[in-house]
């Protein structure tokens, strides 16, 4: 049926966005020759999490550790904008991998996008249709089901945790059989029991307190009383395992009273009326009203103290919404302003009350259990709030100010230059046209943000714009920003030809239709990285160093190195940049040539074009492996642009530092998609590695051919591994 096919497509796309060790991954998708849709996912040889715990008789800490794996996978899905909506034990499979129990989350067939305007993912649910599994369904999902957020999955995880701890579901809905109206009423109106009261003996004692409170908060009927994120739920479980104070706490008396009143409004109204009548007769209206008002004031004062706990969730929101304001372009101006109103101002305003409450509770003679919990939580949270406000306030101000001026600085101010390029490229926010390179004939552009130092005292409008020299070069200084080359699209042929030498047998010739793309002339410098990250200096060689009695001068013109793939992806993404794909990198490095090096088939032809293992390397660093065929004069990495460029005007594609690409290491025979050439298939041998290309100052020239592939785990850091930025054409 159409609804089945729609959910099938929902699951395929949802899984395609996610890559996590605790989520079953999609390996392939398409249609059979008969038109039947399919997708292939990794095989999980496991059983439901509850069945696994029962079979292996896991103790309580081991069950909680498994539950934390579930939380990690669901949080990853939420980070990708996907709600699961059907979390239950049978969709949380446990298998043995390398002697260790590992959870895999499956069945995203009911998934929906957290932000439907951003992701093309919908639930395809008919109005009034009962979608999900009742025993684990949140009250809001059991209602209209349209206004759902991550807290609906938090509720389902609370139900799973309840069952892991007690061996039964929270609301015991099976006894209602197929009476859907009764099931909905119970889900929406009946509170689940406290876990410790559903067991006995040693188990009940172990659940009493922290775990009762954690489950109770996750299963709150009102979404605003639950954990704001799955990671917050997981954090409380970790705190319990570490015997630290948790963020959840017992329901207050006032909360229990409000719940009772809501369920029994008529009865309570009648009882109050009768009680008031008796009190008026016994004690007098004035005495009663005075005491009631005093009690209300005391209750309100105590409630206000506990209202401060909302700032714990607001702290998570502060971080999450700050991350959603990248890149700092005009299109994100509203989000930047909303962050100020919804997160920054309320947290800043709450600080005096938090400090005063901590001081008051610390001096209390006999604080009750709730007040002791509140004191511990606020003491732990206050430094985090202060630290995040100190970190984010100037960063967000800088981001907001840049978003306000970047269009005027890069498009409006250079309208005549953009008009001259109208047949080749529409205006690109953040880039300044430098004109056509007089040697290559290709248009080049200056990335203004990578040249502006917010701490340098120079306004963005005063950042100098370089000029192309007659030989096609630009001056490279410690203050230089990124220069991008517009590489024209078209039919691209990459990979190793049969007659080419080389040890990598997985790079046969590949043809792909590439769109035009922007790629940096130089490897990203240490100065550019510092300016883009607010002062970070990750490179191992970042200043003048002495090795073997020899002094090597290093400065901000040298390539940044010693950075892992996730960090590179994150930093570039904040600026609207990205890594080139493997195909884009090789196409740009070849610059229209077909030999192993763009300089020719002879390795000696590389002399003057690259910094690789050479005679100087062997004099100063004899541990470098390779045959010195010439002398490039460098032992460590050289300032970018120190050697000759290729025909596209790109420098250091053969050697200096090796360069990360966007691709995971997949079989080269897999087709590259048209447009950007990305290969997004299953990894080779199951390894989660990413490809890097080119050679470095530690690489033998024979290993620097443009088609040679190398890969490494994404977390590796190396002093000869850096990057070259790219940017898609908008």
With contact defined as beta carbons under 8 Å apart, do 632 and 704 qualify? Answer: no
Average pLDDT on 449-478 reads: 93
Q: Which H/E stretch holds residue 16?
A: helix 2-17
What mean pLDDT, rounded, does the chain reach?
86
Intra-chain end-to-end CA distance of the chain, in Å: 38
Cα–Cα distance for residue pair 463/479, rounded to 1 Å: 9
Cα–Cα distances in angstroms (integers) from residue 436 to residues 308, 344, 522, 601, 629, in the given order = 59, 45, 17, 30, 36
Per DSSP, 250 falls in state P
How many percent of the chain have pLDDT more than 90?
A: 57
The pLDDT value given to residue 523: 98
Q: Among candidates 242, 245, 225, 241, which has minimal Cα distance to 380?
A: 245
CA within 13 Å, CB half, 268: 9
Cα angle 205, 313, 190; round to 5? 55
Confidence check: pLDDT of 13 > 50: yes
Residue 302 has a pLDDT of: 55
**Region 465-494 average pLDDT:** 94
Query: Is residue 561 within 8 Å of residue 722, measured between CB atoms?
Result: yes
State yes or no: pLDDT of 34 exceeds 80: yes
> So what's the pLDDT on residue 26?
82
What is the percent of the chain where pLDDT is above 70?
Answer: 87
Write out pLDDT tens, residues 657-706.
Answer: 999 999 998 877 788 899 999 987 776 655 689 999 999 999 999 999 99
Closest CA to 488 of 599, 591, 594, 582: 591
- Alpha-carbon distance of 258 to 189, in angstroms, equals 13
- Could you please report the per-residue DSSP string of 296-346? HHHHHHHHHHHHTTHHHHHHHHHHHHHHTT-S-SGGGHHHHHHHIIIIIHH
Instruction: Return the pLDDT at 518.
Output: 98
Per-residue model confidence (pLDDT) at position 516 = 96
Residues 52, 101 contacting (CB under 8 angstroms): yes
Q: What is the pLDDT of residue 126?
A: 38
3-state SS record for 497-556: CCCCCCCCCCCCCEEEEECCEEEECCCCEHHHHHHHHCCCCCCCCCCCEEECCEEECCCC
Q: Is the pLDDT higher at 547 or at 644?
A: 644
Q: Between vectors from CA 682 to CA 111 and to CA 665, what angle results, nearest 5°? A: 125
Per-residue tokens: 571? 């930093």
Element (H, E) at 266: helix 265-283
551-598 per-position pLDDT tens digit:
889 999 999 999 999 999 999 999 999 999 999 999 999 999 989 999
- Whole-angstrom distance, CA of residue 688 vs CA of residue 630: 37
Is 436 a residue whose pLDDT tops 50? Answer: yes
Q: What is the pLDDT of residue 685?
A: 58
Task: For residue 623, name the pLDDT band (cuts at 50, 70, 90).
Answer: confident
User: Once rounded to an integer, what is the mean pLDDT over residues 344-358?
Assistant: 91
């Amino acid at each position: 049926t159409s609804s089945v096919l729609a959910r099938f497509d929902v699951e395929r796309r949802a899984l395609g966005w996610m890559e996590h060790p605790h989520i079953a991954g999609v390996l392939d998708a398409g249609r059979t020759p008969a038109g039947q849709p399919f997708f292939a996912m990794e095989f999980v040889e496991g059983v439901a999490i509850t069945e696994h715990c029962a079979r292996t008789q896991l103790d309580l800490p081991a069950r909680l550790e498994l539950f934390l794996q579930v939380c990690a996978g669901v949080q990853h899905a939420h980070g990708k904008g996907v709600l699961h909506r059907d979390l239950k034990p049978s969709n949380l499979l446990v298998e043995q991998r390398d002697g260790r129990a590992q959870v895999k989350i499956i069945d995203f067939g009911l998934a929906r996008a957290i932000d439907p305007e951003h992701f093309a993912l919908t639930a395809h649910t008919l109005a009034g249709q009962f979608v999900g599994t009742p025993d684990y369904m949140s009250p809001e999902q059991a209602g209209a089901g349209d206004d759902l957020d991550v807290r609906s999955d938090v509720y389902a995880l609370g139900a799973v945790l309840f069952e892991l701890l007690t061996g039964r579901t929270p609301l015991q809905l099976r006894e209602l059989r197929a009476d859907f109206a009764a099931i909905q009423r119970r889900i929406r109106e009946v509170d689940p029991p406290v876990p410790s009261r559903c067991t006995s003996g040693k188990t009940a004692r172990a659940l009493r307190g922290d775990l009762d409170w954690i489950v109770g908060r996750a299963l709150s009927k009102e979404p605003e009383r639950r954990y704001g994120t799955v990671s917050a739920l997981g954090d409380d479980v970790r705190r319990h395992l570490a015997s630290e104070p948790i963020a959840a706490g017992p329901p207050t008396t006032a909360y229990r009273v409000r719940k009772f009143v809501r369920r029994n409004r008529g009865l309570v109204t009648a009882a109050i009326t009768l009680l008031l009548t008796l009190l008026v007769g016994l004690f007098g209206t004035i005495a009663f009203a005075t005491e009631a008002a005093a009690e209300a004031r005391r209750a309100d004062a105590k409630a206000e103290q506990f209202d401060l706990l909302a700032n714990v969730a607001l702290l998570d929101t502060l971080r999450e919404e700050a991350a959603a304001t990248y890149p700092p372009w005009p299109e994100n101006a509203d989000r930047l302003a909303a962050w100020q109103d919804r997160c920054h101002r309320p947290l800043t305003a709450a600080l005096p009350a938090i400090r005063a409450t901590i001081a008051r509770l610390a001096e209390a003679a006999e604080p009750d259990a709730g007040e002791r919990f509140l004191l511990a939580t606020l003491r732990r949270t206050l430094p985090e709030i202060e630290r995040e406000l100190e970190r984010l306030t100037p960063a967000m101000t800088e981001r907001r100010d840049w978003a306000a001026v970047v269009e005027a600085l890069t498009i409006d101010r250079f309208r005549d230059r953009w008009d001259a390029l109208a047949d080749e490229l529409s205006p690109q926010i953040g880039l300044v046209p430098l004109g056509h390179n007089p040697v290559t004939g290709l248009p080049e552009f200056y990335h203004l943000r990578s040249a502006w130092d917010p701490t340098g005292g120079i306004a963005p409008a005063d950042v100098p714009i370089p000029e192309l020299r007659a030989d096609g070069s630009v001056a490279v200084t410690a203050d230089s920003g990124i220069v991008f080359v517009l590489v024209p699209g078209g039919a691209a042929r990459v990979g190793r030809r049969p007659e080419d030498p080389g040890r990598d047998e997985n790079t046969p010739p590949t043809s792909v239709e590439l769109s035009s793309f922007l790629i940096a002339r130089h490897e990203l410098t240490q100065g550019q990285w510092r300016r883009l990250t607010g002062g970070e200096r990750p490179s191992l060689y970042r200043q003048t160093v002495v090795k073997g009695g020899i002094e090597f001068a290093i400065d901000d013109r040298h390539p940044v190195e010693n950075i892992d793939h996730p960090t590179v992806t994150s930093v570039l993404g904040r600026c609207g940049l990205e890594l080139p794909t493997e195909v884009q990198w090789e196409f740009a490095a070849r610059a229209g040539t077909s030999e192993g090096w763009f300089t020719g088939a002879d390795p000696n032809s590389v002399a003057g074009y690259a910094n690789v293992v050479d005679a100087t390397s062997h004099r100063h660093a004899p541990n470098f492996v390779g045959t010195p065929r010439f002398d490039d004069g460098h032992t460590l990495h050289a300032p970018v642009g120190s050697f000759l460029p290729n025909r596209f005007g790109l420098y250091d594609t053969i050697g200096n530092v090796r360069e990360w690409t966007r691709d995971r290491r997949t079989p080269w025979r897999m087709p590259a998609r048209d447009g950007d050439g990305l290969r997004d298939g299953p990894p080779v041998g199951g390894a989660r590695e990413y490809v890097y290309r080119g050679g470095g100052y530690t690489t033998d020239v024979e290993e620097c051919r443009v088609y040679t592939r190398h890969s490494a785990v994404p977390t590796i850091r190396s002093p000869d591994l850096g990057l070259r930025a790219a940017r898609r054409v908008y």
